[in-house]
Structure formats: C-alpha cells, structure tokens
Structure 1
C-alpha cells in the first residue's frame, strides 16, 4: 500500500470514529448545558487547564516522540527496537503521571483558590487526578500505533472512551435524581475518569493480543539504555514545548473570566460567558476538525518516514494536497457556520450568545484547519522548536487580546484576537515549510 493510500485509509478510519465521537459529544454537551447551566459548564471547563498541564508533563510529548521514533524504526525494519521504545515510554509516562496524581491531590485546595481563582474547583480536581495514569497508558499506546500507521486500536479506544464517559455520567445523574438529590457537576469529572480508565484497559489488552511479543518481551539493560538515549533527547524538547504552550494556554483560559469582570460583568456572568465560549461555541467550531486532526496524526509519521528516504518531490506533493484539502474544508465550514450559527446556538444549545460566538469564530476555520496539518508536517521534519515558537507567537497574541481587548470590547475583543492569531500562525508555518523544503 502506497503512503498516500495509507494516509487516506488511516484518515478515513480516524475521521469516521472522530465524527461519531464528536456527534455524541455534541449532544453530551447539550445535556451538560441543560442540566448544569452555563455557570456549571464554565466551572467544569475551568479545571481543564490543570488537566492539560499535567497531561503535557506526563504523556503528550512522549506520545509524539514515540510516534515519530517508531515510524523511523519500522521504516528501517527494526520492529523489536520499536517495541522497546513503546515499553520505555510507558514506564516513564506512568511514573510521571503517578507523581502528578499525588501532587494534584495534595495541592487541590491551593490550586483551586490561587491558580484557578475559584475554590469550588477543589472537589473537581481531586477525582480528575485519577484520570492521569490511564490517560498516560492510552496516549503512549496510541503513539505507538500511529507510528506503525495502524489506526484501529486508537480509533476504537476513542469510541470506547466517549461511550463510557456519557453512559457513566447519565447513570450517576439518574441515581442521584431518583434519590431526590441535586446532581453536581462533579459527576462529569467522574465520567471523564471512567472513560480514560476503560480506554486504557482496551488499548493495553488489544495491543498485547494483537502483538503477543510485546506482552512477554523484556528489555535488557543495554537495550534499555540505547532506547533511553534515543527517546529522551526527542521527547524532552517536545514535553518542554507542550508544557510551556499549555502554561500559556492556562494563563489565557484562567484570565478570561477575571478580565470579563473588568468589562462590567459579575462573577456569575463572566463564568457563564466563559462556559458558553469554551463549552458550546468552540466545540462546535472544532467539530469538523475531526478530519484535519486525523490527517495530522497520519501525516507526521509519514513525513518522518519520507524524510529518511530524502524524497523531496513526494514530500512536497503530499503537503500541497493535504494543506489544500484542509483549507477548502475550512472555507466550506466557514460558510456553513455563518449561515447556521445563530440557529445552532438558539435551538441546540438554547443560548443566543453561543450563536453569536459561532458566527464570529467561523471566519478562522480555513486557517485553523490548515494549521493542524502544517504544524504536523513541521513536527514530522523534526523541527519541534519551530512548532513551539509558532504556537507561542499565536498564544501571545491571544493572551494580549485577553488582557487588552476584553476590558475594552468584552469577549468580542478576544474573538478578534483568536482570528488574528490563527491567520498569523498560518503565515509563519507556511514560511518555515517553504524555507525548509525549497532551499537548495
């Protein structure tokens, strides 16, 4: 099977699963918004910067490093070394996640009050911490599968995670209602933990059944040391990049409610606006990105593999076709959201504010969807520092819009900042790829 056919096949599987999961998630968010209200959704969304930061430290960089390293090992026929990379990554990621679990539980009150600015987040952070070890296992195994360009296990695990989460939350909700008790937003966190647990168990069982040699292999000290020297130099900058990017994103997310209060909003109003933006409007805009995310996942190991053969013509051909397709998809989605945004907000989310946000954010779709593919190519080329600088530049613009534009223009100023940020990220990524691929 050619590389293009592999990308198309893998993208189709991941996209089909991604759309199904996002379709379920779409109605799940409607359930959350109707059950817990805009303020409850805002409180739920407020804990995710902490979760993202812990995940960046424990798994995100290692997943990308495993995927890229495994792709190169497989292209060279070194399957045993690829399996050793996976086991090493699992050990490191699991240990780091256990450390984060303990740290988060010990400091939940302090993080809630000082970092998130709302003590009500404490009972959400403690159960959230239990998701980290399972997310680490799930992430590393998916990175290994992506490196091998095998998408069945990651796709099904994504579906398992989403179904389990929704069913768990609904069951918890019905139990509490039958007891005559109010259902707190904490049950949404418990559903997330249950989802990560089942997806981790599924990926581990499926991988050992699919490749029995992984389940019974042992790494000798010499092999362990060699794989450590290969994986760590690649994963450390990736992890550092993800942590710094997540820190900037956390500053951005946590500052929005506070800056909205400077625009004559009460605490409750600010949290409601934040909940509508992050829990309703943005997920809607990101819904079609199931396609571009799937393409990006398959594109990175493919680029790494092509790089080993130094086939510049094939590299340029794939990049042009993928980036062009993502841009066209973005244009179509932009038009769709402009026409239907108001209806989506009012009818599906029961929020006219969500409709306004969707119509404004629609303009960034062509750049947002294209950026995921361009940045994936840059990572595949091993230029992770460039990716970090580009993402940081975009985030700095968004953070500036939070601190400068929101007090002056309200949330609309932040939406404009997001649009400018995505446009400039596209220009920077395109410029770097042109320099890397066309020089000489």
Structure 2
C-alpha cells in the first residue's frame, strides 16, 4: 500500500531527473544552433516542427495516451495479458499510420512547404524530419505501455538516449563538415532528430524484449475487441491532438506573415520568430521537465483511482499535483522577471530574447498548472472536454496573431498567449471541480441505494 501510494512521486522524480538532464542538454544545443546557423535559419528549423507535431498527433499521440490509460486499468483489475494485447495492437496501428504519413509528406514536401509553410527552403527539412516518424511511433507506444504500469525507468532512459544521440550526432557531423571545408546548413540539425529517435526506439525494443511477456493472466479480450477498445479511447484523443496541432501549425505559419504586415521585412520576421520559438520559449518551458512528468503520470493514476471508484482520493491527487505546478510557476515567474534580460544577452547574445522572456514570465503559473489539469481530465476519460478547452485557448492565440500582431507587433501575440493560458487554466479547473463533484455525488447515491 505504501509503495502504491508513493508510485506517482517516485515516477515523477525519475522522469523529472531525466527531463532536467535532457532539457539542460537541449538548452545548450539550442544555443549552439543559434550561434552556428543564425536567427533566420533557426526560424526555418522551428517552422517545420508544428507540421512534424501534426504527423505525430495522427500516428502516435492519441494511441500512446490510450495505451497508457488502458494498460493501467487492466493492470489494476489483474488482467495484465489484456493490457499487453492492447499495447501490441496500438503499436502496430501507430507504426502503420506513421509509415503512411512519411510517404505522403515526402511525396508532397515541395507543395506543403510552399503552400502551408510559405517558404520553399522548408521542403528539404520536411522530407528529412518525417523519416523519424516510424521510430518515434515505436518509442512512444512502448513509453505509453510503461506509463500505464507506472514504471518510468525505460521512458526516462530512452529520453536521455534520444537527446544524447541527437546532439552528439549533430556535433560529430558538424565537425566532419568543417574539417572538409564545407559549411553545414540547418538540415544537419534535422538529421539529429532522426538518429535520436532511432536510438530511443532501439533501446525501447531491447528493454521490452528483455522484460518478456510471461502469461501471468488469461486473455479475456480478443484482437478485435482490443482494437475496438483502443480506437474508442484513441480516436477522440487523436482528433483532439490533431485539431490542436493543426491550429498550432496555422498559428506558427501565420506569425511571420503577420509580422510582415507590421512593417517587418521577410528576413526580420523570420528572425523574430526564430528568437521567440527557438530561444525565449525554451527558457520559459525549461521547468516543464517537472510538470510534464507529473502530467504524464497523472493520466494512469487518475484512471486507476476512477476504476477503484475513489473520488475523494482522485480529488486529493489532482489537488496536490496542480498545487505543486502552480507554486513552481510562481517561483519561475519571479525568476524570469528578474533575470530575463541577463539570460537573453548572456545565453543567446540577443536583447530581443531577453525582452520576450520577461513578457512571457507572466504565463508560467498558468502554463505549468494547465498541463496537469488537462492530463487529469484525460485521466477521467473526458477527452472531448479537453479538446474543447484546448480549442478555446488556441482560438484566442490565433486571434492575437491576426489582430494583435499587425497593430501591436509581436507584443500583441505575447499578451495573447497570456490571456490564452490563463483562460485554459481557469476553465480546466472549473471543469475538474464539476466532474469530481458529480462523481462524488453519484458514489454517495450508489452507497445509499
């Protein structure tokens, strides 16, 4: 019982430790990219990520969360073999979808870069980055399986391997190019993503094979029923993530365009976008190593409490997680307000990055807390509500792009981010309060009957 009670804390500590190391490595890697390739090239690099995230949403994100939730539920009921069957089904589906996405994007990379990203230079980057999709699918599904078991060692180690291989491969290739008298371009950084995901997938598969699949419980689900169970959970999540990522892609592609409407040249607009997304935002998101760990583990933990019909314990679990994230956000907000200018100049040699960090510091409490609250809502199985809340936040952000940037420049978008994050946090909190109260009243009525 003691072990079960503290599994969330232990898992969070493991994931947070790995996440912090990974983010430290990634942070200095971004400094290397900004100094080596320049703000405009970093802007191009950042421009393709919303599209890559869209492909991941279609092939991986919903299935990973569905695997995590289903494995956790079956494991708590003693049906471990059904949990393994769910995982195997999800893995096959995810890899198939990722292969389809890879082929489609590579075939249409020039059209997509011209029509949707607005810069033909993105075609090569798109063609390269989708090569990482199949490996990312394998990696994510295996992580989802371990999250469902509330075992975090494999996801943590694979995260470190992915980041280490990604960075080291770029450094090695960079020095090889320099040694041969060739100045490397930004596609070199994209190749690191491919090597990193391949390494993480390889380790994840090895660890899964080493773990083995002993028949410790009978099968109850058939393959068709496991597929149906998985799709029932994953389709709303996939639609959720895909819709959100699609809107994020529109948001990202529109920022440079709207900056041009605010009297910036195309080169300056891309540079401002690169400073914001490649320098300032990584600083603000650095503490998310902790909050993301909490969010990942909240989904199976809340699902397990719900399966046990323990609404009071669910409420206490969410309260502690959200309260911790909000407290961290307040501390980080003060820190970035006091040190933003120094960080921008010292780390990136950019006064603009410092100004962005100071402005974005206000969103920290809401940004960190909302991730935990939305994960708790997913853990309760209310994925449609999560979709609606995220769409509300994104709508505010997109409005700030089209109406805020042309009139107030990039500052209009930054304050749009603040309004968006605070709104999402408040609505998610009200939603959780209502749902937990409803479940508690239902359990009281059932006990009375």
Same fold (TM over 0.5): yes
- Counterparts of 1:316 and 1:106, CA distance in 2: 49
Alignment correspondent of 1:46: 47
Over residues 178-211 of structure 1, what are the superposed CA-to-partner deviations in whole Å (9 max), with x where a residue is unaligned?
A: 1111111000000000000000011011111022
Structure 2 residue matching 1:348: 3-state secondary structure:
helix
Once the two structures are TM-superposed, the CA of residue 4 in structure 1 deviates from its matched residue by: 3.8
Q: Is 2:265 the counterpart of 1:241?
A: no
Alignment correspondent of 1:164: 165
- Counterparts of 1:45 and 1:52, CA distance in 2: 11
Alignment correspondent of 1:68: 69
- Counterparts of 2:284 and 2:383, CA distance in 1: 27
Gaps of at least 5 residues in structure 2 are 442-449
- Counterparts of 1:369 and 1:3, CA distance in 2: 25
Q: 5 Å matches for 1:243-262?
A: 243-262=242-261
Q: Is the 8 A contact 1:4 1:318 kept in 2?
A: no
Aligned-residue RMSD, C-alpha: 1.3
- Counterparts of 2:287 and 2:247, CA distance in 1: 25
Over residues 55-90 of structure 1, what are the superposed CA-to-partner deviations in whole Å (9 max), with x where a residue is unaligned?
A: 000000000000000000000011111110111011
Alignment correspondent of 1:27: 28
Alignment correspondent of 1:313: 312
Over residues 401-430 of structure 1, what are the superposed CA-to-partner deviations in whole Å (9 max), with x where a residue is unaligned?
A: 000000000000000000000110111001
Aligned residues: 436
- Counterparts of 1:211 and 1:297, CA distance in 2: 24
Alignment correspondent of 1:137: 138
TM-score by length of 2: 0.95
Once the two structures are TM-superposed, the CA of residue 213 in structure 1 deviates from its matched residue by: 4.0
Structure 2 residue matching 1:119: 3-state secondary structure:
coil
Over residues 275-327 of structure 1, what are the superposed CA-to-partner deviations in whole Å (9 max), with x where a residue is unaligned?
A: 00100111110000111100111111000000011111111111111111111
Alignment correspondent of 1:154: 155
Over residues 208-253 of structure 1, what are the superposed CA-to-partner deviations in whole Å (9 max), with x where a residue is unaligned?
A: 1022449xx9x99x72112112111111111111111111111101
Q: Is the 8 A contact 1:3 1:302 kept in 2?
A: no
Alignment correspondent of 1:338: 337
Structure 2 residue matching 1:265: 3-state secondary structure:
coil
Q: 5 Å matches for 1:245-394?
A: 245-394=244-393
Structure 1 residue matching 2:202: 3-state secondary structure:
helix
Structure 1 residue matching 2:181: 3-state secondary structure:
coil
- Counterparts of 2:332 and 2:322, CA distance in 1: 15
Q: Is the 8 A contact 1:86 1:140 kept in 2?
A: yes
Once the two structures are TM-superposed, the CA of residue 2 in structure 1 deviates from its matched residue by: 4.2
- Counterparts of 2:193 and 2:214, CA distance in 1: 31
- Counterparts of 1:79 and 1:255, CA distance in 2: 47
- Counterparts of 2:179 and 2:86, CA distance in 1: 49
Alignment correspondent of 1:37: 38
Once the two structures are TM-superposed, the CA of residue 346 in structure 1 deviates from its matched residue by: 0.2
Over residues 147-197 of structure 1, what are the superposed CA-to-partner deviations in whole Å (9 max), with x where a residue is unaligned?
A: 000000000000000000000101111011111111110000000000000
- Counterparts of 2:213 and 2:88, CA distance in 1: 13
Structure 1 residue matching 2:154: 3-state secondary structure:
helix
Alignment correspondent of 2:79: 78
- Counterparts of 1:104 and 1:230, CA distance in 2: 29
Structure 2 residue matching 1:146: 3-state secondary structure:
helix
Once the two structures are TM-superposed, the CA of residue 3 in structure 1 deviates from its matched residue by: 4.0
Alignment correspondent of 1:435: 434
Q: 5 Å matches for 1:78-157?
A: 78-157=79-158
- Counterparts of 1:209 and 1:101, CA distance in 2: 29
Once the two structures are TM-superposed, the CA of residue 392 in structure 1 deviates from its matched residue by: 0.4
Q: 5 Å matches for 1:194-209?
A: 194-209=195-210
- Counterparts of 1:318 and 1:396, CA distance in 2: 30
- Counterparts of 2:306 and 2:282, CA distance in 1: 34
Alignment correspondent of 2:193: 192
Over residues 36-73 of structure 1, what are the superposed CA-to-partner deviations in whole Å (9 max), with x where a residue is unaligned?
A: 00001000001111101100000000000000000000
- Counterparts of 1:111 and 1:138, CA distance in 2: 26
Alignment correspondent of 1:418: 417
- Counterparts of 1:8 and 1:434, CA distance in 2: 23
Q: Is the 8 A contact 1:327 1:369 kept in 2?
A: yes
Once the two structures are TM-superposed, the CA of residue 272 in structure 1 deviates from its matched residue by: 0.3
Over residues 105-139 of structure 1, what are the superposed CA-to-partner deviations in whole Å (9 max), with x where a residue is unaligned?
A: 10000001011000000111111121000000001
- Counterparts of 1:286 and 1:80, CA distance in 2: 38
